[in-house]
Structure 1
């Protein structure tokens, strides 16, 4: 990639990372502090889990994506470990989305058993299981399905001519068959297919209930439908942002390294990272409770800012008045002395 293209890519990655951090910190604060008893509702707990995963994309995955492009020279073991961190965060996002879809489905189709199932203890246990399973799936290359042997043999062959460690890149340690057959088809497409089926059944059931119910009973169903539409939009954006990059991996596997240009590959990487920055915007415009929490947070922030500014003005006026009185006292003393 040309120098100017690399600079543009790096600048965009920095902007995406900043947006991920700011937006998702705001989401966590909005849910945990701005919405009363929100953590008692499973959907908001899973949204916090998704926001934490998106936040870690900005904190860890984006910087690692920039570094794991041949800019750092580390041991093959460390390169493999850093590459797996990116996979863990992606998997946490997928499983959090799946947990949200399952929660909405159970809430709609098993209303009598839902309260017994969706306790706070069960919810946080489900969140923990999502992250544990994400770690197990994301760190799978550490157990053997990787390019570590070929990388170490290549570095051994070149050790006689150069003592430097070869640059660390993602695809130098992560196997393309692993990315296509295990990560894409098994860990991404299978959950996306399950979520598509769940949301289809949710919308089909809601549409039927809205037709059969009386006008007084339609209000909660309409709220449920609006929330389901918002969460389905998050799912669609995730699929639209991540599938292009996985399809490029398929082309690289089946047609060789010249099947995808570097520009397209970097565009796919940027698009996948941008998904983590877009989700907070979707929450703000589509979920009323989070929108209200955003407004409360900004209102409190502005009030504190105005309060601090007002205190500074008061302290400044007090200081200036004291200085004026002191100056008047001095001038008065000089005047009385002259008489």
Structure 2
């Protein structure tokens, strides 16, 4: 296969990787744009939990618009300045961190909702939720840009050439001790462990409340059943995140702790592919598991000309009361 100037010849596995990544990017962008649009048009979805879900959707849109194209560029083997390549690599980490911190914020939000239901609305306001989202993104930028401060491979062999240009690859500029100890153990394993503990406690509290049915009112039982359904959906999002992201981090651990073991290129690409496909899965979880979200997506498709809607509004009848309470019918 012929190659363009400055680009290494493509192998068949590289071409397949680029094709799959392009398809994932398109699905991710379209699906998550619909998530944001659904929240914008349906007042019943404009609560604090969906504020964090929108933050997660924005991160997933960034995966399709920014991360995947950058990953493809890094796989092409362009020659560029060291710090230019390092900055592009750091952008990949920033988006990943924003996703996991958004998931953590969602878990904390649902925990407070079932643990202190009577005081939840006064403690978790829309303004505080927006502040929390901003903090998540600020923290993501700070942790993702740590390699720019010096924790990188600038002084590794080959990166101090006289020309100043290097073949831009993620592993050529990013140190594996940073990826394993700081990024994986510190900012993936710890948040995931906290989320697992929070959802375990959420399910325990909800089950305990539902077992007290004889003492509870019908409204109380309905409240906790809705919370249980939504908690299951959001816990599924966390589970998919772990399943999709752990393989690539495990490969990094193998590369760091057992450098004599070489990870095949196909396996490496499969791990990268799984980490990116996670961004396309989240909208599907919302659509299949959350009724109000699914109904809103159907109405949006009708408005776009697939089928003319009978209703004059995007919010179905009977949702105004839910909007006032901030509840979503899963």
Q: TM-score range by the shorter chain?
A: 0.7 to 0.9
- 1:288 Cα offset (Å): 1.3
1:18 paired residue number: 26
1:38 paired residue number: 45
- TM normalised by structure 2 equals 0.86
Superposed, 1:24-63 pairs within 5 Å as: 24-33=32-41, 35-36=42-43, 38-39=45-46, 41-63=47-69
Say yes or no: does 1:212 pair with 2:228: no
CA contact (8 A) 2:81 2:165 kept: yes
CA contact (8 A) 2:248 2:272 kept: yes
Structure 1 248/156 Cα, relative in aligned 2: closer, same or farther at 3 Å?
closer
- Secondary structure at 1:145 match in 2: coil
Say yes or no: does 1:165 pair with 2:165: yes
1:130 paired residue number: 136
- Secondary structure at 1:166 match in 2: strand
- Secondary structure at 1:74 match in 2: strand
- TM normalised by structure 1 equals 0.84
Paired residue total? 298
Superposed CA offset, 1:290-327 (max 9, x none):
11110110111126889xxxxxxxxxxxxxxxxxxxxx
CA contact (8 A) 1:70 1:167 kept: no
CA contact (8 A) 2:114 2:202 kept: yes
Superposed, 1:1-339 pairs within 5 Å as: 3-33=11-41, 35-36=42-43, 38-39=45-46, 41-150=47-156, 154-157=158-161, 159=162, 163=163, 165-214=165-214, 216=218, 217-256=220-259, 258-302=261-305
Superposed CA offset, 1:57-81 (max 9, x none):
0000001111112432110011010
What do you get for the CA RMSD once the two structures are aligned?
1.8
CA contact (8 A) 2:153 2:174 kept: yes
CA contact (8 A) 1:285 1:291 kept: yes
Cα distance in 2 for partners of 1:287, 1:304 equals: 22
Deviates more, 1:292-301 or 1:251-260: 251-260
Cα distance in 2 for partners of 1:165, 1:150 equals: 14
Cα distance in 1 for partners of 2:106, 2:38 equals: 18
- Secondary structure at 1:111 match in 2: coil
Cα distance in 2 for partners of 1:246, 1:228 equals: 26
- 1:129 Cα offset (Å): 0.3
Cα distance in 2 for partners of 1:149, 1:304 equals: 60
CA contact (8 A) 2:18 2:72 kept: yes
Cα distance in 1 for partners of 2:112, 2:260 equals: 45
CA contact (8 A) 2:184 2:249 kept: yes
- 1:122 Cα offset (Å): 0.6
- 1:38 Cα offset (Å): 3.1
- 1:218 Cα offset (Å): 2.0
Superposed CA offset, 1:242-293 (max 9, x none):
0011000000001116431111111000000000011111110011121111
Unpaired runs of at least 5, structure 1: 307-339
Structure 1 305/65 Cα, relative in aligned 2: closer, same or farther at 3 Å?
farther
Structure 1 164/191 Cα, relative in aligned 2: closer, same or farther at 3 Å?
closer
Deviates more, 1:185-194 or 1:112-121: 112-121
Cα distance in 1 for partners of 2:184, 2:166 equals: 28
Structure number with higher helix proportion: 1
CA contact (8 A) 1:20 1:276 kept: yes
- Secondary structure at 2:43 match in 1: coil
- Secondary structure at 1:148 match in 2: coil
CA contact (8 A) 1:57 1:89 kept: yes
Cα distance in 2 for partners of 1:48, 1:98 equals: 14
